Amino acid sequence: MPPFHFSDDVEKKPLTWEYIRKVVGNFVHYYHPHIGLFRLSVGCALVNSGLTILVPLLVYRAFQIYLPAKNYPMIWAVIGAILVLMILTSAASYINVRFGHVLGTRMEADMRNDLFRHLQKLSFSYFDREKTGHIMSRITNDLTMIAELAHHGPEDLLSSTLMFIGGCAIMLYLNPLLTLITWLPFPLILFWGYMFQGKMRTGFRAARRKVAEINSRVENSIQGIREVKSFNNERREISRFRQVNSRYRHVREGIFSVMAMFHSGLQFFIHGYSLLFVGVGIILTGYGKATVVEVMTFFMYSKYITMPMFRLVEFAEQFHMALSAYERFYEVLQLKPEIEDKPDAVKADSFRGELSVEHVSFKYSGTDEILHDVSLKAEAGRTVALVGESGAGKTTLGALIPRFYEIHSGSIKIDGIDIRDYELRSLRKNIGVVRQTPFLFDSTIRDNIMFGNPDATEEEMIEAAKEANICDFVMSLPQGFDSQVGEHGVRLSGGQKQRIAIARVFLKKPSLLIFDEATSALDNESESLVQEALEKLCKGRTTIIIAHRLSTVKHADVIYCLRDGKVVEHGSHAELLAKNGYYKMLYEMHTF
Q: Where does this chain bind ligand ADP (CB under 6 A)? A: 128, 364, 367, 370, 388, 390-396
d(CA 12, CA 181): 40
Task: Say whether 580 sits in a helix, a strand or coil.
Answer: coil
Q: Specify which residues 88 forms β-bridges with.
A: none
Give the closest residue to 382 by CA, choosing from 558, 548, 510: 558
Binding span for Mg ion by CB under 5 A among 53-61, 219-227, 387-395, 565-573: 387-395
Binding span for Mg ion by CB under 5 A among 16-24, 266-274, 333-341, 388-396: 388-396
Output the smallest distance, CB 210 to ligand ADP, in A.
26
Does an H or E element contain 356, and which? strand 355-362
Output the smallest distance, CB 365 to ligand ADP, in A.
8
Q: Which one, 40 or 387, has the nearer CB to ligand ADP? A: 387
Q: Specify which residues 545 forms β-bridges with.
A: 385, 515
The contact pattern for Mg ion, residues 539-578, with x = CB under 5 A and - = no contact, is: ----------------------------------------
Output the smallest distance, CB 566 to ligand ADP, in A.
12
Output the smallest distance, CB 101 to ligand ADP, in A.
43
Q: Which one, 395 or 531, has the nearer CB to Mg ion? A: 395
Cβ-based neighbours of 401, under 8 Å, separated by 6 or more: 355, 357, 412, 414, 419, 431, 512, 514, 544
How many residues in the chain? 592
CA angle 552, 557, 558 (to 5 degrees): 90
Output the smallest distance, CB 520 to ligand ADP, in A.
10
Q: Which one, 388 or 489, has the nearer CB to Mg ion? A: 388
- Give yes or no for residue 395 binding Mg ion (CB under 5 A): yes
- Give yes or no for residue 197 binding Mg ion (CB under 5 A): no
Which listed option, Mg ion, ligand ADP, none, makes contact with residue 370 (CB within 5 to 8 Å by class)?
Answer: ligand ADP
Q: Which one, 61 or 363, has the nearer CB to ligand ADP? A: 363
Question: Cβ(27)–Cβ(326) under 8 Å?
Answer: yes
Does an H or E element contain 355, and which? strand 355-362
Which listed option, ligand ADP, Mg ion, none, makes contact with residue 393 (CB within 5 to 8 Å by class)?
Answer: ligand ADP
Q: Which one, 308 or 565, has the nearer CB to Mg ion? A: 565
Strand segments, DSSP code E, in 120-223 are: none
Which listed option, ligand ADP, Mg ion, none, makes contact with residue 364 (CB within 5 to 8 Å by class)?
Answer: ligand ADP
Output the smallest distance, CB 419 to ligand ADP, in A.
18
Q: Which one, 339 or 345, has the nearer CB to ligand ADP? A: 339
Q: Which one, 37 or 586, has the nearer CB to Mg ion? A: 586
Output the smallest distance, CB 364 to ligand ADP, in A.
4
Residue 213 φ/ψ, nearest 5 degrees: -65, -40
Give, rounded to a whole angstrom, the gap between the first and last alpha carbons of the chain. 72
Which listed option, Mg ion, ligand ADP, none, makes contact with residue 367 (CB within 5 to 8 Å by class)?
Answer: ligand ADP
Give the closest residue to 331 by CA, choosing from 141, 15, 119: 119
Q: Specify which residues 571 forms β-bridges with.
A: 559
3-state secondary structure 22-71: HHHHHHHCCCHHHHHHHHHHHHHHHHHHHHHCHHHHHHHHHHHHHCCCCC
Which listed option, Mg ion, ligand ADP, none, makes contact with residue 128 (CB within 5 to 8 Å by class)?
Answer: ligand ADP
Buried b (16+ CB within 10 A) or exposed e, 172-194: eebbeebbebbeeeeeebeebbe
Which listed option, Mg ion, ligand ADP, none, makes contact with residue 66 (CB within 5 to 8 Å by class)?
Answer: none
Q: Which one, 269 or 515, has the nearer CB to ligand ADP? A: 515
The contact pattern for Mg ion, residues 347-386, with x = CB under 5 A and - = no contact, is: ----------------------------------------
Q: Which one, 137 or 396, has the nearer CB to ligand ADP? A: 396
Cβ-based neighbours of 12, under 8 Å, separated by 6 or more: 202
Of residues 59-88, those binding Mg ion (CB under 5 A): none
Q: Which one, 16 or 390, has the nearer CB to ligand ADP? A: 390
Output the smallest distance, CB 514 to Mg ion, in A.
11
Which listed option, ligand ADP, Mg ion, none, makes contact with residue 396 (CB within 5 to 8 Å by class)?
Answer: ligand ADP
Output the smallest distance, CB 494 to Mg ion, in A.
16
Q: Specify which residues 569 forms β-bridges with.
A: 561
Q: Which one, 276 or 339, has the nearer CB to ligand ADP? A: 339
What angle do the packed helices 54-61 and 72-121 form, to 10 degrees? 170
Which listed option, ligand ADP, Mg ion, none, makes contact with residue 205 (CB within 5 to 8 Å by class)?
Answer: none
Does an H or E element contain 515, and which? strand 512-516
Task: Say whether 412 sits in a helix, a strand or coil.
Answer: strand
Output the smallest distance, CB 98 to ligand ADP, in A.
49
- Give yes or no for residue 437 binding Mg ion (CB under 5 A): no
Binding span for Mg ion by CB under 5 A among 21-29, 53-61, 393-401, 453-461: 393-401
Give the closest residue to 554 by CA, choosing from 573, 538, 571: 573
Strand order in the sheet with 512-516: 431-434, 512-516, 542-547, 383-387, 558-563, 566-571
Q: Which one, 395 or 443, has the nearer CB to Mg ion? A: 395
d(CA 62, CA 564): 93
Binding span for Mg ion by CB under 5 A among 115-123, 141-149, 328-336, 391-399: 391-399
Output the smallest distance, CB 545 to ligand ADP, in A.
13
Q: Which one, 438 or 452, has the nearer CB to ligand ADP? A: 438
**Binding residues for Mg ion, total number by CB under 5 A:** 1
Which listed option, ligand ADP, Mg ion, none, makes contact with residue 154 (CB within 5 to 8 Å by class)?
Answer: none
d(CA 445, CA 447): 5
d(CA 477, CA 473): 7
DSSP state of 103: H
Interaction site with Mg ion (CB under 5 A): 395
